[in-house]
Amino acid sequence: MSVSIPAVYEKVKAAVGKTERVKLGTIRERDFQRFAIAAGNLNPLFFDDAAAKAAGYPATIAPPLYLSSVMVWELGPPEDSMRADGTAGQETVGLPVEGVRLMGGGQELEFHYPVTDGMEVTMEVGPEHVELKEGRSGQFLVITLTRRYRDQNDRLLVTCRENFIAR
């Protein structure tokens, strides 16, 4: 990569504390059910209204990890505009990290309110922390990106802190 890690560090550091709000669109039951099936999780709370109501929910709920697992909520670019590794650049909305390789290191989540069909979800996203580190194969960054997902009534649904390694 021709991008300098210290230069990206300075850009991310300057963005710490700043957030942007992104409209993600309407949550659809079919989408979160497909997500559950893809992950091999057939919990009735995700599929069966009666089971969800019996457990105190208004209707079927999305798997807790659904919102924070979707990498891109936009349409995504045409194939000839994608990067060589298949990513689109939209996976890291909120992070000024063009040109570096990012690896997801895991997430830390708080679940505030269940996600159900028809919710209009907005994501508030921005870097919370960045560190410049020296590894055996050179410098790298550890970035914590915070995402707060809210519904159309501004009710907080999920808080997600995701750690990325940028090289």
Binding site for another protein (CB under 8 A): 31, 34-35, 37-41, 43-45, 51-52, 54-56, 63-65, 68-73, 76, 82, 85-88, 91, 103-111, 163
Q: Smallest distance from the beta carbon of 163 to another protein, in angstroms? A: 8
Select 6 or 98, whichever has its Cβ closest to another protein.
98
Residue 27 buriedness (CB in 10 A; 0-12 / 13-18 / 19+): buried
- Are 16 and 127 a contacting pair, CB within 8 Å? yes
Select 109 or 132, whichever has its Cβ closest to another protein.
109
| HSE (side-chain half, CA atoms, 13 Å) at 111 | 10
Select 9 or 164, whichever has its Cβ closest to another protein.
164
- Are 113 and 150 a contacting pair, CB within 8 Å? no
Select 13 or 93, whichever has its Cβ closest to another protein.
93
Token pair 């390789």 in the structure block, residue: 101
Q: Smallest distance from the beta carbon of 67 to another protein, in angstroms? A: 10
